[in-house]
Chain A
Amino acid sequence: MSAPLASAAAAVFTEPPPVVVSRGYWATVFARVLRDKVTVFCALVLICMLLMAIFAPWIAPKDPTATSMLKRLALIGSEGYLLGTDELGRDMLSRLIYGARLSLFIGIVPVINAFLIGTLLGVLAGFLGGRVNTVIMRTIDVFFAFPSVLLAIAISGALGAGIFNSIVSLTIVFIPPITRVAESVTTQVRGLDFVEAARASGANALTIIRVHILGNVLGPVFIYATSLMSVCMILASGLSFLGLGTKPPAAEWGLMLNTLRTAIYTNPWVAALPGVMIFTTSICFNMMSDGLRQAMDIKE
């Protein structure tokens, strides 16, 4: 052997200088999302929808509830009615713009509620394990036995029609799947060495959950929740369609689809418009959720 190589002590500060400027996890995720054109496009569409909902009174050309017996079922492109009129002669464009308010509201709020409650339940079940886990997860299993559409209809039917009640029923529908995902992610994270190390340093359960578990669980569960928003919008529309959600004359895409169904043969393009809105929004939610999932999957 030749003369000794430089000792490790001398090597102490010869580690290569930082190549990557550290910008934190979420900043990295954001940068990765920006490079994914499809996700950015979907996010932009959703932002437009949101702005449309917020500024509806200023954007909408006409009063969404003003009826006109003379101008019923006007075709798309009719004078003064860019997207035609519905069966009561109300301006479709204005109703679609106003409809975004209610539709987005009852599509997003139940998922947010379920995200908060489900994550809490799932993290508790996953971290504490044992009996707590059994009680929470078996209860969840009972809800899983019913198809989500039937469950939503049953609860809404029992509570009665109305926006508040449909939000309550949809929240209940989405708690079980979110709890299950949160529980499985928590169980995974709990088994990782850094949680062991935290326990080994004497931290109590609450501190470990706060510092080490939540940060690693919220991300994946949030992604899953965003993918549920499209389902929630469709279910909410379905409830309205069945007369269990919003009531006429309020503008809501699902309800509009219902009332326009009689016109499907006479004026199919106008009748399909609320459906197009529901479809676009839900597909954007789905694509964005996929993109986020990929961006968050940062490997070493």
Chain B
Amino acid sequence: MSSTATTPLVEVTNLSVHFRNADATVHAVNGVDFTLNAGEVLGILGESGSGKSVTLKTLMRLLPEKKTTIGGGMRVAGHDVLSLDRAGLIAFRGRVASMIFQEPMLAFDPVFTIGQQIAETVIQHEGVSREVAMARALEMLERVQIPSAKRRLEAYPHEMSGGMRQRAMIALALACKPQLLLADEPTTALDATVQIQILLLLRQLQKEMGMAVIFVTHDVGAAVEVSDRIAVMYAGRFVETGDVRTVIRKPGHPYTQGLLAANVLPGTGIHAGKRGDRIEAIPGAPPNMVTLAPGCAFEPRCKWAEERCGTKVPEPLPSADGGAAHLVRCVRAVA
């Protein structure tokens, strides 16, 4: 990004995450680098198994420590996330960075009311009195536009509908005004008319509170609605990063191109899929993350594959027509 004077809020350098189990080692993340400025929204777009959720969970140190090997570095707002101790981690989660999930029931304890749980977080991080904390909880529920918020403070998680629970989880995550919000497919399980409400709510809250957001999704539309920048992830690497307009309009990586074509987006004017036409499908299936080939991971499915693709993973380099901020990991896209 252009702002070099200020240090970015998030700096991830050469992040790798491997899971060991009895059968094999899964190479979930294989060298991810990115920076994110305060108030910026990065959308990570990828399919299942691409390592997008793992990247987020690593930023929160949510992965089981015993079975996970993490390499590289992560700094968030001056904190070296990987070296935080237990106390540091508790202060970090919720206060500096917060996370929302696809399934809100995971974020809530079923035996406490929504109000109690939000207030508890505020008391823990800010040491305020219960009254102040409850007032904050009410303010948060109003902020996420839950109707009759006062009554909802007394509600238990299971008493709310899916969309309301999602809003309550956002309220919980933002209660201590974190600088960074990590959103892991928060709208995937929702109905279409509810999904758009949550997307717009996130966009609005991000503007109002000025926080940075990393939004992980498999849905191109959801990513476009909220993101300033988009990173496309494949086999544990960012294969393409850039401004949302550049990535959507001039995708440089063959995988991004295929993904956009496969989305069958009729009537958008970008690439209207006509009825009856065949969809331009990427052949084959995503790679096995246990036995990852040495070269470009997309090479077996790529129609442009050449001999050099199989030997070495391409470096992320500025694309030919997208400018310096548009990085593509493909030997063909480089200027």
The interface of chain A, by Cβ under 8 A from chain B, is 1-2, 4-11, 14-16, 19, 32, 35
Contact = CB atoms under 8 A, between A and B. Distances in A.
Given A1-B257, A1-B261, A1-B280, 5 more contacts: A1-B260, A5-B258, A9-B278, A14-B283, A15-B285
B287 to A, nearest CB: 8
A228 B113 CA distance: 41
Interface of B is mostly: loop
Contact of B303 (A6, A9, A35): A6
Interface of A is mostly: loop
A35 B254 CA distance: 42
Interface in B206-260: 254, 257-258, 260
Interface in B278-292: 278-285, 288, 291
B271 interface: yes
B288 A5 contact: no
B300 interface: yes
Interface string B300-324: 1001000000000000000000000
A19 B291 contact: yes
5 contacts: A5-B261, A10-B283, A14-B283, A16-B284, A19-B288
B258 A11 contact: no
A11 B261 contact: no
Contacts of A4: 261, 280
A243 B291 CA distance: 62
A12 B153 CA distance: 55
Given A16-B288, A16-B300, A5 B271 contact: no
Contacts of B288: 16, 19
Most chain B C-beta atoms within 10 Å of own C-beta, residue among A5, A15, A16:
A5
Given A1-B260, A5-B261, A11 B281 contact: yes
Interface residues of B, number: 19
Contacts of B280: 1, 4-5, 7
A10 B280 CA distance: 11
B22 interface: yes
A149 B288 CA distance: 53
Contacts of A5: 254, 257-258, 261, 280-283, 303
A270 B280 CA distance: 79
Contacts of B283: 5-6, 8, 10-11, 14
B281 A8 contact: yes
B262 to A, nearest CB: 8
Contact of B278 (A8, A14, A35): A8
B260 A16 contact: no
Nearest to B258: A5
A107 B281 CA distance: 60
B285 A7 contact: no
Contacts of B271: 1
Contacts of B254: 2, 5
Contacts of A14: 283-284
A125 B284 CA distance: 44
A240 B231 CA distance: 72
Contacts of B291: 19
Interface in B69-94: none
A15 B283 CA distance: 8
A15 B284 contact: yes
A11 B285 CA distance: 10
B247 to A, nearest CB: 13
A8 B300 CA distance: 15
Interface in B158-214: none
